Amino acid sequence: MPLADDLAAFQGDAATAFAGAADVAAVETARIALLGRQGRIVALQEAFRAAPPEEKRNLGPLFNAAKQAAETAWKDAQARLADQGDGGPLDITQPAPAHRPGSIHPLSRLGREVERVFTSMGFSVVDGPHAEHDDYNFTRLNIPQDHPARDAQDTFWLTDGRCLRTHTSSVQSRFYELAGQGRLTLPLRSVVVGRVFRYEAVDATHDNTFTQVEGFVVDRGITVSHLVGTLTTLLKGLIGRDDVEVRLRPAYYPFVEPGFDVDIRSPSAPPEVRYHDWMELLGCGMIHPQVLRNGGIDPAEWNGFAFGLGLERLAMVRHGISDIRVFHGGDLRSLRQFAY
């Protein structure tokens, strides 16, 4: 009677499998194979149903006994492991699970490099509030209410009248005010690496939250040459190539005069790198006398330059990233690619 043999074999295998299971996972694997909905017990039950009626009389008790024995062996194994705790016997020779070291976010790392280059040139690292008064973010920077330049920087407004700053130039307003009040002494050499916000439709090249680097210098007799020299030093440091060139084109920003957009290139970079040929990177200019005056600084004595650049854009060209959403998406699988 082959089914009787099968039942006996099943019962024996169940006893061996459950008694030998070293941990909860092994018990569960055995249960699925033997007693699960697609386990061996199901085939045995089907064979029993198909058996001729005269054999069923003998097979019935055998089937029940085998199934019950397997279930008992299962419960015994569970009880045994519950007594020992989940892991079963402790194997002190087993290798520890691998630790995955954390890493610095690519933007944070680039931001720190920027700060290092600027501190080496005698700049101070400063910042201001993210939730900013209209006055500092716009009005003191020559962007009055109803000025069309406001349309270019739509933002999120708080119910108390403050907004999320649209650029780090708001920090210029604050520092000029402090200098005008005599709470800071001129000259100023400051750099901001900070988060800014815009009401933007998010796509591969726009995010509503991004990072700007703002540099500003107020001193006596500052010229565009100082600006170009500072930018060239910064970009040589960040790109790590000595042949970095900058090119200025006239541009309009209400808080500088003259204002420029800056392109960079480094012909020694491989041809597939964006800045192998001219690439637009940042805005800058000589601080508008009215902006200094708004802070209480006399533009007849003091002048200076300022510039602002997007850190994500720089990080994207550095790492060959094509989608800005990687930076704030929080997906570690993306970010780990840039860990080193």
Q: Look at the block and give the residue holding tokens 């944070």.
A: 108
Identity of the residue, 21 or 213, whose beta carbon is nearer to ligand PHE in the bound complex: 213
- Position of minimal CB gap to ligand PHE: 308
Complex with ligand PHE: residue 10 or 260, whichever CB lies closer: 260
Instruction: Report the nearest approach of ligand PHE to the CB of residue 260 (Å).
Output: 8
Strands (E) across the chain are located at 124-125, 131-133, 162-164, 188-197, 209-219, 245-250, 256-265, 279-287, 303-310
Contact 118, 191 (CB under 8 A): yes
Q: Which residues make up the interface to ligand PHE (CB under 6 A)?
A: 167, 169, 214, 253, 256, 259, 283-285, 306-308
Q: 174 near 188, Cβ under 8 Å?
A: no
Q: Parallel, antiparallel, or unpaired: how do β-strands 303-310 and 209-219 relate? A: antiparallel
**Closest CB 297 distance from ligand PHE, rounded Å:** 16
197 or 307: CB nearest ligand PHE: 307
Asked if 302 and 218 touch (Cβ cutoff 8 Å), the reply is yes
User: Rounded distance, CA 249 to CA 140, Å?
Assistant: 25
Nearest residue (CB) to ligand PHE, 114 versus 284:
284
Minimum CB separation of residue 302 from ligand PHE in Å reads: 17
SS3 label, residue 221: coil
Give the shortest CB-287-to-ligand PHE separation in angstroms: 8
Nearest distance in Å: CB 206, ligand PHE: 13
Q: How far apart are CA 11 and CA 168, in angstroms?
A: 75
Nearer to ligand PHE, 269 or 306 (CB): 306
